[in-house]
Amino acid sequence: MRQIHISSYRPAGFAEKYQRLVADTVIPYQYDILRDAVPGAEESHAIKNFINAGRALRGEDTGDGFRGMVFQDSDAAKWLEAAAYSLAVFPSDELEREADAFIDVIAAAQDEDGYLDTRFTIKDREKRWTDLLEAHELYCMGHMMEAAAAYFEATGKRKLLDVMTKCALHIYRHFVEEGRDGYSGHPEVELALVRMYRATEERKLLELAKHFVDVRGREPYYFEREARERDWEVWGNDASDREYQQSHAPVREQQDAVGHAVRAMYLYSGMADVAAETGDAELSAACRRLWESVTQKRMYVTGGVGSTVHGEAFTVDYDLPSDTAYAETCASVGLIFFAMRMLEREHDGEYADVMERAFYNTVLAGMSLDGKRFFYVNPLECVPGISGAAATERHVLCERPGWFACACCPPNAARLIASLGKYAYGETHDTAFCNMFLAGEVEFANGVSLECSTGYPYGFEVRYDVRSGGRIAVRIPGWSRNKFTVELNGQEYVCEPEKGYVYIDAEDGDRITVTLDDAPRYVYASPKVPALSGKIAVERGPLVYCFEGADNGGDVLSLSLRRGGRLRAEKFDPNMLGGTAVISAEALRTADPGALYTSEEPERTPVTARAVPYYTWANRGVNQMRVWMPAE
């Protein structure tokens, strides 16, 4: 399977609401952030850095020089990528002019040899390629390569693609032709190079991606040697922490997801890309092994990954605390990248199930409903007065900030949402795949075209009106495998899912109707997860629900759910939290005994607890929140 072209999907319904929010609010807001035009927000300086790098190359005064994180270029690259996707769906002369003007600035910041990184062009020019562990040169260039490929795909304009091809060939000369040691401290360039290869058909780019995958983790260990040879550093990262950088073993020998979660997801995505292009069975098997480690032992019910603030990292199997969870937004974006690549490799609904879980829960929760505030960390429990205050929970916030000094997550969420159609729909030469239920019109390169109508994720009937027929594969989510129906032109279509998909040979004018299970349900964790012993969560469709103080008298901590108690989905309310459906649950409220500890059994009162989708939390001020509730 391959993704559809970005312009092949015209959104409607829930997807259109979010993609228009990105187009109309998020992209303009983030552009203003990048050019430091939002009063009170953390200064970005990202666009100014490119301007100043161009001045440095022309021998002019660089003014205020370079400012921001060493990877500040990547914020601008991800914004540009999001803008490209948005232009493909919602053409805008103004946005295209802004993007073209910025591309001119980027091109002027490229060194004659192809190098492109504003930090090292403005200052420390002699230190280029000497701190791959921390300096993020390959990471920044990788993100700009992704932006270049996306902009070319969306607009047909080659200027940035040519700039980044020149940059990629510079990297190839340095690491392959000249034989310099090293690979990325923060993986990203690997998947970007494969994407550039697919856009340009320049074989050296695929060769370079494979090179970076192949040399990672081999002895002698590069980062320790690099650290001994240089007399400077960015943050003082421990070069001997091999798991943190996923270089503790050659990638084909790695067994478990370890280290920095975002880096892991990007690396595994790049590995899957290289395996797909080269037919490397051993590399493909490693991807499957790592996938199982992530999704079967180290993933939150929300699709969040990375359970500790220490290193923003994976820890060990089944260590999934709710209150100190890290679950960075970027890590779930990366998990979706990895899932899509695994789905392209093997048509199995398991991958789309995870992709959908991560999107509707952690990724959407990473952005406020108005598109102007963002979470970096996505906890599954928040208690004002402890969260953000206790030393162990200072990373956990109960409200989204407007921006961050380290602002990788906001533009990452924007580019994912803006390109969602490419994840929802895929194709082979003879089959159109419906991986996620996004309303709108879709035209596949294999000749199939259809219109999807649905109220998903709150409506559970999905209708496909087939305009141009062919073989269509519709995913049946894992949570609905025991209760679903498929109709073709009003008649029951008897079928058994094949690895999570039903396959239908449809003709022009046919209507396919899929009806999924609309019942709210309890979710139980494995007893191997110590943090969740005796707790249950609530889901409906793809949505994980949470209990907020705003809906429960300000106090969630005294609530426990009745085990086996009735769950009821209330009617969809278009005026609540941007349009949502509340779930009510039978619960008990425990009275406060007035003492820290007591030997007397506390009084419990039957109550009705109310839950809202996790992605909507923290949009009504600071209040308590829990996903996993005690059960009695």
pLDDT score at 410: 83
Active-site residue among 398, 408, 452, 546? 408
Tabulate helix, strand, coil % of the chain (nearest 5). 40, 20, 40
Segment 5-18 shows an average pLDDT of 96
Name the pLDDT band for 401 (thresholds 50, 70, 90).
Answer: confident
Report how far residue 381's alpha carbon sits from residue 215's, in angstroms, rounded to the nearest whole number.
40
312 catalytic per annotation: yes
The number of beta carbons lying within 10 Å of the beta carbon of residue 620 is 15
pLDDT tens track for 281-324: 999 999 999 999 999 999 999 999 999 999 999 999 999 999 99
Q: What are phi and psi of 347, to 5 degrees?
A: -75, 80
For residue 281, the tally of other CB atoms under 10 A from its CB is 9
Tell me, what's the pLDDT at 589? Answer: 98
Average pLDDT, rounded, for the chain: 96
Whether 406 has a pLDDT exceeding 70, the answer reads: no
C-alpha closest to that of 457 among 521, 539, 524:
539
- Residue 382 is among the residues annotated as catalytic for this protein: no
Catalytic residue among 226, 312, 356, 539: 312
Q: Tens digit of pLDDT for each residue in 540-571?
A: 999 999 999 999 999 999 999 999 999 999 99
Q: How many CB atoms lie within 10 A of CB 136?
A: 25
What pLDDT band is residue 42 in, cutting at 50, 70 and 90? confident
Over range 52-75, report the average pLDDT.
94
Inter-CA distances, 24 with 16, 89, 423, 574, Å:
11, 12, 22, 20
Dump pLDDT digits (tens) for 114-123: 999 999 999 9
Residues 200-224: tens digit of each pLDDT: 999 999 999 999 999 999 999 999 9
Q: What is the percent of the chain with per-residue pLDDT over 70, rounded to a whole number?
A: 99
What is the pLDDT, as a whole number, of residue 411? 84
pLDDT digits (tens, 9 = 90+) for 411-454: 899 999 999 999 999 999 999 999 999 999 999 999 999 999 99
Question: 262: closest CA among 191, 360, 342, 348?
Answer: 191
Is the pTM higher than 0.95? The answer reads yes
Q: What are φ and ψ of residue 333, in 5° steps?
A: -60, -45
What CATH number was assigned to the domain covering residues 428-516? Answer: 2.60.40.1180
> Are the beta carbons of 117 and 141 closer than 8 angstroms?
yes
pLDDT digits (tens, 9 = 90+) for 321-349: 999 999 999 999 999 999 999 999 999 99
For the cut 70, the answer to whether the pLDDT of residue 404 exceeds it is: no
**DSSP per-residue codes, 258-320:** -SBHHHHHHHHHHHHHHHHHHT-HHHHHHHHHHHHHHHHHSB-TTS-B--BTTTTB--STT--
Question: Cβ-count burial of 429 within 10 angstroms (0-12 exposed, 13-18 middle, 19+ buried)?
Answer: exposed
Least confident of 99-113, 129-143, 396-410, 580-594: 396-410
Judged by DSSP in three states, 103 sits in helix
- Kindly report, residue by residue over 234-273, the tens digit of the pLDDT: 999 999 999 999 999 999 999 999 999 999 999 999 999 9
Nearest by Cα to 402 from 67, 77, 42: 42
**pLDDT: is 374 or 468 the higher one?**
468
Structure confidence at residue 453 (pLDDT): 98
Mean pLDDT of 43-49: 93
The reported pLDDT for the residue numbered 39 is 87
Instruction: Dig out the tokens for 355 from the structure.
Output: 């992709």
What average pLDDT does range 185-211 have in this prediction? Answer: 98
Q: What does the DSSP 8-state code read for residue 391?
A: G
Per the DSSP assignment, residues forming a β-bridge with 515 are: 461, 485
Q: Give the domain ranges of the chain.
A: 428-516, 525-630
Q: Which two tokens stand for residue 589?
A: 């409220």
Q: Which amino acid is at 454?
A: T
With cut-offs at 50, 70 and 90, classify the pLDDT of residue 481. very high
Per-residue confidence band for 402, with pLDDT thresholds at 50, 70 and 90: confident
